[in-house]
Amino acid sequence: MAKEITARDEDYSQWYNDIVKKAGLASNSAVRGCMVIKPNGFAIWENMQSQLDKRFKETGHVNASFPLLIPKSFLSKEAEHVEGFAKECAVVTHHRLMNDPNGTGVVVDPSAKLEEELIIRPTSETIIWNTYRDWINSYRDLPLLINQWCNVMRWEMRTRLFLRTSEFLWQEGHTAHASSQEAEEETRMIQDIYAEFAEEYMAMPVIKGVKTANERFAGAIDTYTIEALMQDGKALQAGTSHFLGQNFAKAFDVKFLDENQKSQHVWASSWGVSTRLIGGLIMTHSDDDGLVLPPKLAPLQVVIVPIPKPDPVIDEVAEKIMAALKEKGISVKYDMDKKKRPGFKFAEYEMRGIPVRVGIGKRDLEKGQVEIARRDTKEKSAQPVDGIADYIEQLLEDIQNNLFQRALDFRNERITKVDSMEDFKSVLEEKGGFLSAHWDGTTETEKKIKELTKATIRCIPLDAEVEEGQCVLTGKPSQQRVLFAKAY
RNA sequence: AUGGGUGUAGCUUAGCGGCCAGAGCGCGUGUUUUGGGAACACGUAGGCGUCCGUUCGAAUCGGACCACUCAUACCA
């Protein structure tokens, strides 16, 4: 049994915190609400980055970098945007410190007050659109497809490692297009990229949908989302892609001359995923023994443990296996620590979520075998050393698929159709997950249901069937079901 | 931000006005071990979140602040 991890059914939040800390992913820092991402956690982020970055580039995007600080006046140029973010902005007001005249330490030098305060970016639409004004003159300059990997800051009241921190790492794409249709296509294509990445790499099933007006990004016409379901039955917004219409182009006066020599405002999209994905990854797969990582994102895919300790005979076999695995591009480590016993190492690597463990002991070697343990099911089996690299390569694939299938089954079992508020409440309380229900389309009803149940509309699924029905709260006519859930 | 809880070595914690702040884990060295978190010995490490106050005397009492945590609210 794993030491020191709180069981999930005992206290899910505590379990989550235990995993993050014990698996060495992240910790709180000296700065309120800001985390230190430790090497084990950052390596996962790097793997996510490289996969996503590859897909962005394949679809014509390029990376750039814009300033961390945004002039205060920029924020207020788009009315809804400022309203959405104003309450959570960190503000830079001075540019110099001085020795405290009354004692030790330093104080802000009052003479170094900035003429215009600077905002630490909560998102970069404003500074980027202000820049795009200079970059875009003609339809020949479009589309402009730019992404940046960076940190942003939102002064959140309550923070949780990875899920909601004041500072977080993300990528934000900001694109400019000549037509509304093209910008919308971009928005949906990015949603597809996010969904495909979530499912194929994170093994995390997601539902693609559109946000209601109430849940929309501040300043967007439409917000496309991917929604995942966590083990405790709560939903997680895993990525969003916004169709911004001409809102920012108008706010920052970004125009282009079209082929008919007519001046037009450009059309925009913006989209992002963040380190929150790591939180989603944890809450999709991990168990009471620790982290469980999908092989495609695991910083280390295979660990070899000598049983009971390193030994020339065992080392030789390990070296061979490592060479064969590396040739296949599989990451592997041989644990040569002589002081720690095998049982300790087993538990340790399970805690860290290494997908496959190879145990090499003399008893098995005599039979030409090694022990293979898979993290997802915790099954162990003896396998012949001959052809072991092929076996492991296949096993990693099986684990990846199994994790996805397991999560998919779990999620699908927790999408429940409900047609009355009584069912709505009881299913939400007893089972959790997504509730598929009719809704009359008004923000008023949405808010009322939230008040009554704490559940929000996670999305209007893109694949929803047209179905005549009545709003679960008001009984007014509805054309399709939407998905409700309690959310992170 | 509101309401509840917590803050003593790296971690978990005992002590709850005076008596050297004590232990387990960890960490280091050594010995014996080693097929699912080894045992023993010796050693290492804290002035009790911060500040102010009460007191002859504060980790213990009071206040303010800070941080973390749970619930509510907001978000990627």
pLDDT in tens, A54-104: 999 999 999 999 999 999 999 889 888 888 888 888 888 888 888 777 666
Closest nucleotide over all strands to A242 (CA to C1') = B76
Q: Provide the CA A21 to C1' B42 distance, Å, integer.
A: 32
Question: For residue A338, which nucleotide's C1' is closest to its Cα?
Answer: B34
Distance between CA atoms of residues A459 and A167, nearest Å:
26
Closest residue by C-alpha to C1' distance, nucleotide B67: A32
Residues 6 or more apart whose CB falls under 8 angstroms from that of A283 comprise A16, A230, A231, A232, A236
Mean pLDDT over the full length of chain A? 93
Amino acid A1: pLDDT: 34
Chain centroid offset of residue A266 CA = 29
pLDDT at residue number A105: 66
Instruction: State the pLDDT at residue A179.
Output: 97
ipTM of the predicted structure? 0.83
**Mean pLDDT on A254-262:** 96
Q: How far is the CA of A6 from the C1' of B68 (A)?
A: 18
Tokens representing A303? 């660990």
User: Helix/strand/coil (H, E, C) string of A228-277?
Assistant: EECCCCCEEEEEEEEEEECHHHHHCCCEEECCCCCEEECEEEEEEEECHH
Rg (CA), chain A: 26
Determine the pLDDT at residue A90.
86
Question: What is the C-alpha separation between A311 and A289, in angstroms, rounded?
Answer: 29
Q: What is the mean pLDDT of residues A33-61?
A: 95
The nucleotides of chain B lying under 7 Å from a protein CB are 1-2, 33-38, 66-76
Distance CA A328, CA A341 (A): 29
> How many other C-beta atoms lie within 10 A of the C-beta of residue A263?
9
List pLDDT tens digits, range A99-122: 777 666 677 888 888 999 899 999
Report the distance from CA of residue A347 to the C1' of nucleotide B23 in Å, as an integer: 26
What pLDDT was estimated at residue A36?
87
Scanning every strand, the nucleotide with its C1' closest to A216's CA turns out to be: B75
Q: Which nucleotide is nearest to A348 (CA to C1')?
A: B37
- Percent pLDDT > 90 in chain A is 75
| Closest nt to residue A273, judged CA to C1' | B76
Residue A216, SS3 per DSSP: coil
Q: Which two tokens stand for residue A365?
A: 């070697």
Percent of chain A residues topping a pLDDT of 70: 98
CA of A192 to C1' of B57 (A): 70
- Residue whose tokens read 């695991």: A298
CA–C1' distance A100–B20 (Å)? Answer: 40
pLDDT higher than threshold 50 for residue A131: yes
Per residue in A154-199, pLDDT tens? 888 778 889 988 899 999 999 999 999 999 999 999 999 999 999 9
| Through-space separation of residue A153 CA and nucleotide B63 C1' in angstroms | 34
Ordered by where they begin, the domains of chain A are 12-285 (3.30.930.10), 302-395 (3.40.50.800), 415-485 (3.30.110.30)
